[in-house]
Amino acid sequence: MSKPRYWDDAARELSRRDPVLRRLILAHPGVHLKRRSDAFTTLACAIVGQQISVKAADSIWRRFVASVDASPPRGFPRLLPDRVVAAEVRALRACGLSQRKAEYLADLAAHFASGRLDPLRWKALDDEALIEALVDVKGIGRWSAEMFLMFHELRPDVLPVDDIGLQRAIALQFNGGERLPREAMFAVADLWRPWRSVATWYLWRSLDPIPVEY
């Protein structure tokens, strides 16, 4: 839950380079990206929450956690891949999961249990290599992988140009409210390297001052 080591340096440098970001950074002091849980639990939670309301996702998530006997019982639980692998798809469906999401969770658990996804090896991977490894899992697309790199791995230079919130924020802050094509978004963001995750996070704050945690 501690602040990423690079955060203060990134905020100072972005403030120096970009007057828009300087204004946003000054408007939101003392807040930053936070890692919430372990890698497997974070990805499983993201899959459960796809395309449903926050309230529905929370209810299904709690039933899912109980069904696979997660540990520890208090706070945000830590799921064990082996227990999800051992669970029958029928049991996962009984938690309120769709057939497709149950299959996605089973595939995610199999990737972790087999070592195809091994967090201990990720530090040696650059962003694109880790995204490629993550999207090999059914149900994880590029956007989900980018959110994971930002919110769990705390990678400093991710630019999720397919994110609707980022598209809207760049349009409002840099182009009079009109959406920019992908290439133009990359051009605007080139000034923010190697801190594009930090810039994105502050641009999100321009739309919603309350940070989202994954």
Both 137 and 181 in one domain: the answer is: no
3-state helix, strand, coil in the chain (%, to 5): 60, 0, 40
Query: Would 47 be classed as within a structural domain?
Result: yes
Q: What type of residue is 66?
A: A
Both 192 and 118 in one domain: the answer is: no
Q: pLDDT at residue 21 above 50?
A: yes
Query: Would 188 be classed as within a structural domain?
Result: yes
Both 137 and 44 in one domain: the answer is: yes
Q: What CATH number does the domain containing 180 carry?
A: 1.10.1670.40
Instruction: Name which residue leads in pLDDT, 46 or 169.
Output: 169
Q: What CATH number does the domain containing 134 carry?
A: 1.10.340.30
Both 123 and 60 in one domain: the answer is: yes
Query: Would 1 be classed as within a structural domain?
Result: no
Catalytic: 9? no
Both 134 and 97 in one domain: the answer is: yes
Query: Would 129 be classed as within a structural domain?
Result: yes
* Choice among 9, 157, 163, 208 that is catalytic: 163
DSSP, residue by residue, 15-59:
HHH-HHHHHHHHHSTT------S-HHHHHHHHHHTTTS-HHHHHH
Least confident of 57-71, 128-142, 155-169: 57-71
Both 23 and 44 in one domain: the answer is: no
Both 129 and 43 in one domain: the answer is: yes
When pLDDT is cut at 50, 70 and 90, the band that residue 75 belongs to is low
| CA dihedral of residues 132, 133, 137, 143 (deg, nearest 10) | -40
Query: Would 87 be classed as within a structural domain?
Result: yes
Query: Would 150 be classed as within a structural domain?
Result: no
Segment 4-12 shows an average pLDDT of 96
Segment 53-72 shows an average pLDDT of 81
Query: Would 152 be classed as within a structural domain?
Result: no
Both 84 and 65 in one domain: the answer is: yes
Q: What pLDDT score was predicted for residue 212? A: 64
Which domain covers residue 124, as residue numbers?
39-142
Instruction: Name which residue leads in pLDDT, 50 or 100.
Output: 100
Tell me the pLDDT tens digit for each residue of 97-120. 999 999 999 999 999 999 999 999
Both 24 and 44 in one domain: the answer is: no
Both 43 and 137 in one domain: the answer is: yes
Both 49 and 136 in one domain: the answer is: yes
User: Last residue of some domain: 96, 114, 142?
Assistant: 142
Structure tokens given for 179: 């959406």
Torsion angles phi and psi, residue 180, rounded to 5: -100, 145
Instruction: Name which residue leads in pLDDT, 179 or 75.
Output: 179
Largest CA distance in the chain: 55
Least confident of 72-81, 83-92, 122-131, 140-149: 72-81
Give how many domains the chain has, as a whole number: 2
Compute the chain's Rg from CA coordinates. 18
Both 48 and 85 in one domain: the answer is: yes
Tell me the pLDDT tens digit for each residue of 195-204. 999 999 999 9
Q: pLDDT at residue 205 above 70?
A: yes
Query: Would 46 be classed as within a structural domain?
Result: yes
